Amino acid sequence: MNIILLGPPGAGKGTQAARLEESYGLKQLSTGDMLRAAVASGSDLGKEVQAIIDAGDLVSDDIMVRMIEQRIAQDDCAKGFILDGFPRTEAQAEALDTMLGKSGSKIDAVLVMEVDEEELFNRIETRAKEAGDSARADDNAETLRKRLGVYKEQTAPVLPFYEAKGVLHKIDGMASMDDVTRQIEGALGLGGGPAPRQTAAPGM
């Protein structure tokens, strides 16, 4: 099964992708992590993309499509993969479709995680605080504002592409982490099915 997790920065894509990898053996492919590894290694690619990432802009479609094409061809993706952070533009979505079509495979489900903006700012602030000195350069309010603008302008237009294919599922990303996992499993027909309604704990 091949899955895409979509949603604005701070929506919880990475957390949920890691859980799906652990539970179901689908390989998590985070293009943000791949790019940060390239920057940390000091490679030519890393040098080329560092300023772009730090500013909250998008790396070029050419680079990203090549990166994903090489990655999904590797053996550890044979059981399926979860794309976390790709595609981020309509051109990337179309290129992905073409590359999968060549090998007779496809995207089975696209999960869009919806979270209020105010909550995204809170989460990114918390993530930066928890990371301390190793916080991401793009995890601050100013760059988040930029990244949200990029998401709305360039990534959100990808949603109708998948809606038209009948594979788009909306996930309430404001729910607790466990509830979000259950919603995702329900949408994918895995695990315990649809998320049960949450009941407040005594005294809350």
Least distance in angstroms from the C-beta of 80 to ligand AMP: 19
Strand partners, 30: 84
Instruction: Select 62 or 116, whichever has its Cβ closest to ligand AMP.
Output: 62
Strand partners, 170: 112
Least distance in angstroms from the C-beta of 11 to ligand AMP: 10
Which DSSP string do the residues of 63-121 spell out, in sequence order?
Answer: HHHHHHHHHHTSGGGTT-EEEES---SHHHHHHHHHHHHHTT----EEEEEE--HHHHH
Least distance in angstroms from the C-beta of 61 to ligand AMP: 7
Three-state DSSP at 188 gives helix
Q: How far apart are CA 121 and CA 91, in angstroms?
A: 28
Q: Peptide bond preceding 87: is omega within 30 degrees of 0, i.e. cis?
A: yes
Least distance in angstroms from the C-beta of 66 to ligand AMP: 11
Instruction: Select 11 or 195, whichever has its Cβ closest to ligand AMP.
Output: 11
Which residue's Cβ lies closest to ligand AMP?
32
Instruction: Select 62 or 189, whichever has its Cβ closest to ligand AMP.
Output: 62
The residues that touch ligand AMP, with contacts defined as CB under 6 A, are 9, 31-32, 35, 52-53, 56-59, 64, 85-86, 88, 92, 138, 147
Instruction: Select 9 or 12, whichever has its Cβ closest to ligand AMP.
Output: 9
Q: Which pair of structure tokens corresponds to residue 120?
A: 């995204």
Instruction: Select 64 or 184, whichever has its Cβ closest to ligand AMP.
Output: 64
Q: Would you tell me how many other CB atoms lie within 10 Å of the CB of residue 51?
A: 11
Report the catalytic residues. 13, 88, 127, 136, 147
Reference 119, options 2, 1, 5, 12; nearest CA is 12
Reference 186, options 195, 177, 198; nearest CA is 195
Phi, then psi, of 55 in degrees rounded to 5: -85, -10
Least distance in angstroms from the C-beta of 89 to ligand AMP: 7
